Each structure stands twice: as structure tokens, then as C-alpha cells.
Amino acid sequence: MCLMINNLLDKLYSERTLSKDEFISLINCPKDTSEHLRSLAEKVRIENYGHDIYMRGLIEFSNYCRQDCYYCGIRRSNTSCPRYRLSFNDIAECCREGYRLGFRTFVLQSGEDPYFTDDRICKIIEAIKRDYPDCAVTLSLGEKSREIYKRFFDCGADRYLLRHETANKAHFKKLHPENQTFEGRMECLQILKEIGYQVGCGFMVGSPFQNAECLADDLLFIKKLNPQMVGIGPFIPHGQTPFKEYSAGSLDMTLKMLSIIRLMLPGVLLPATTALATIDPRGREKGILAGANVVMPNLSPVKVREKYQLYDNKVCTGEESAQCRSCLEKRIQSVGCRLVVARGDSKNI
Ligand code: 5AD
Ligand code: FES
């Protein structure tokens, strides 16, 4: 049944896309062709980025969130989540330490926290760009209006991560309460592109109610949006959410998606995510071998790390940034790559 799969892989490699039915066949095909897919994706990663792996310093500066995604551990209804906010000085300190360790991109991520007004965010962006003009600032702050996205961009923000979560409208409704709409999410991504951000979308693999058709929709959507970055990782249940009983997404399916995306968008930036490292002790390394070329270790102060729990058993919640960096360095070298000190802009422009 999977005999034609090698033909599909060759077609994906040369044409950089497939039809929806072809994607569904590829997604449904069991493991036996996975090595062929992986090695093509690794080859394409090397053609585009050599053996360089970019690192981004992730600063999770607030876990307050006004939204209530059913899958997420920091959703507003989770009253047992200890909430925290980093001060301006805390954030500045993270950047200082990060710069010293070789980070040249800072990712400011938080829940949708009204305390962090536009003025406060602009002040942070401007301070980072002033003190580290050779660094890129990436925002991951959720859904905002066009005006606010534009303001942040004009203050100096370079990139914006906003996962689309699923490109299938019926599926989106099953993952979110009614006030969070599929159209709203898609519009935000469109606006971010129009403003001129380097944009990242993405989704969870194995989220509840996801099927092969949803994944095929994700792939076709990503092809159409043509983003600079794609963040994907397995869904991992969190014990204080409505999805606590669902099982986690699989390693193999996550790696398969990484490889397919590398073949579709050869120059895209593709992180081997913390969620991937959480479901497998060599998840990051396997992600890189499957075509990923970015790692995003945590720069947040150790004291708040375990409070930013989107899912259970998140890795690297205890180590200092410096330890995190040297641990990563070794892991990356073990798969023949090197961590580079660079902004690492996308080759997908
Ligand atoms: N498992 C895996 N990923 C999750 N995210 C949120 N909750 C979970 C979970 N339980 C992802 C979402 C979000 C990103 C910041 O983290 O895709 O966009
Ligand atoms: Fe915060 Fe989803 S729970 S944006």
C-alpha cells in the first residue's frame, strides 16, 4: 500500500508540495518510508543552512493569560497555576546574560496579559534594540489589533510567532472557547505579514480530535502562508486542563511533519521544540536530524521556569541558562551540527 509513497516523496522533493489527498496518503502511511523522508529533509536543511543551528533565547515574562485554550496549562480557568510577571529589570537581566552566552535573538513570550500594555511592551522592545542593536527581537504575545502590531514593529520588533494551532475550522472550534475564532487567528497572521514582520505560524501534532485531514490542511495552509518560521511540537496533556485525559502526540508523527515542512519550504526556520524534547530524551537531536535548524532554550530566571507550564513534565525547568547552553551545545554536536552566534534570519523571504 505504501509502494507509491516513494514516488510521493520524490514528487514532494521536486515540486515542494502535494495535493491534499497525496498529503493524507503520506500522513497515513506507516513508518517504513520514514528514513527516506528524513534523509531528504536533512539534505535540504544542509543545502540551505549547512550545519549551522540557530539559537533563540526564550524569555517567558508573564504566565497571566486572558484566554482559555482547552489544551493550555496557563489558561485563565486554571486557578491552581501560580502566576508571575517579570519586571523590566528582570527582562533586561535575562538579555544581558543571554547576550553574554551568544544569543542574538530574544523571544519575548507571554500569555495574553493585560498588565503588559502596549506602552510597557514598546519600552521593553526599545530598550533591547538600543542595548543590543545586532540582535533580533521576536514577539509571541498572542492576538492583538493591527494598530498594536504596527506599533511594536515601528518600535523595532523584527519577528512575530503566532501559531495558527490548526488550519481546519471545525477542529479549531474543538480546541478553543467560542470567543477565540479561527477567522480572528488567520486575520492576525495576515496582518503580521502585511506589516512586514518575519512571521512564524505552527501547530501541535496529535492534539485532541486531529486527524490526517487536519494535518493535510495544516500543510497546505503553511505552503500558502509561506512563513519565515514554523513552530511545531507534540501536544502534551496538562493535568489541570479539559484535555487532561487525552494522550500526547507521537514522536514519529512530529518528526514526519518537520521533514515534510522542510521539503515544502527549504529555507524556513524550523525549531526542534521543547515539547519534542519533553516526549523523548533525544527529541531535540532527532528533530534536527529530521530537518529542524533552530533551538529555543529558556533564558527566564530559574525561579519562574517551572511556572510556565503549558503542558506537564516540561524539560529544562531547573538548569541555569549557561548550563542549558552547554548541554545544548553537546547535543547539537552529537548530530554533526554547531550552535552559531548569529541573528539567524530566515532564508525563506
Ligand atoms: N502541549 C503542547 N503544546 C502546547 N501549547 C500550548 N499548550 C500545549 C500543550 N498542552 C503550544 C501552543 C501555543 C504554544 C505557545 O504552545 O501551540 O501556541
Ligand atoms: Fe493563553 Fe491560549 S491559554 S492564549
Stretch 220-241: mean pLDDT, rounded?
98
Kindly tell me the burial class for residue 285, based on how many C-beta atoms sit within 10 Å of its own C-beta (0-12, 13-18, 19 or more): buried
Helix (H, G, I), strand (E, B) or coil at 87: coil
CB neighbours (10 Å) of residue 245?
9
Distance from residue 344's CA to the centre of ligand 1 (Å): 24
Rounded Cα–Cα distance for residues 154 and 160 (Å): 13
Which residue has the CA at smallest separation from atom 2 of ligand 2?
Answer: 69
Residue identified by cell 478553543 is 176
Rounded Cα–Cα distance for residues 309 and 265 (Å): 30
Residue identified by cell 530566515 is 346
pLDDT in tens, 6-49: 899 999 999 999 999 999 999 998 866 689 999 999 999 999 99
Sheet holding 52-55, edge to edge: 294-295, 52-55, 338-340
pLDDT in tens, 44-101: 999 999 999 999 999 999 999 999 999 999 999 999 999 999 999 999 999 999 999 9
Whether 275 lines ligand 1, by a CB cut-off of 6 Å, is yes
Distance from residue 72's CA to the centre of ligand 1 (Å): 6
- 308 pLDDT band, cuts 50/70/90, is very high
Ligand nearest to the CA of 76: 2
Rounded Cα–Cα distance for residues 204 and 52 (Å): 25
**Which helix H or strand E contains 59, and what residues bound it?**
strand 57-62
Question: What's the confidence (pLDDT) of residue 318?
Answer: 79
Percent of the chain with pLDDT over 90: 90
Rounded Cα–Cα distance for residues 129 and 342 (Å): 15
Whether 218 lines ligand 1, by a CB cut-off of 6 Å, is no
Helix (H, G, I), strand (E, B) or coil at 288: helix
CB neighbours (10 Å) of residue 196?
10
**Cell triple for 140:** 509571541
pLDDT in tens, 87-106: 999 999 999 999 999 999 99
Domains and CATH numbers, the chain: 34-339 (3.20.20.70)
Whether 71 lines ligand 1, by a CB cut-off of 6 Å, is yes
Question: What's the confidence (pLDDT) of residue 324?
Answer: 83
pLDDT in tens, 254-278: 999 999 999 999 999 999 999 999 9
For residue 311, the ligand 1 atom closest to its alpha carbon is 10
Ligand nearest to the CA of 162: 1
Which residue has the CA at smallest separation from atom 4 of ligand 2?
Answer: 67
Distance from residue 227's CA to the centre of ligand 2 (Å): 22
Q: Which residues of 301-329 are buried (b: 16+ CB within 10 A; e: fewer)?
A: beebbebbbbbeebbbbebebeebbeebb
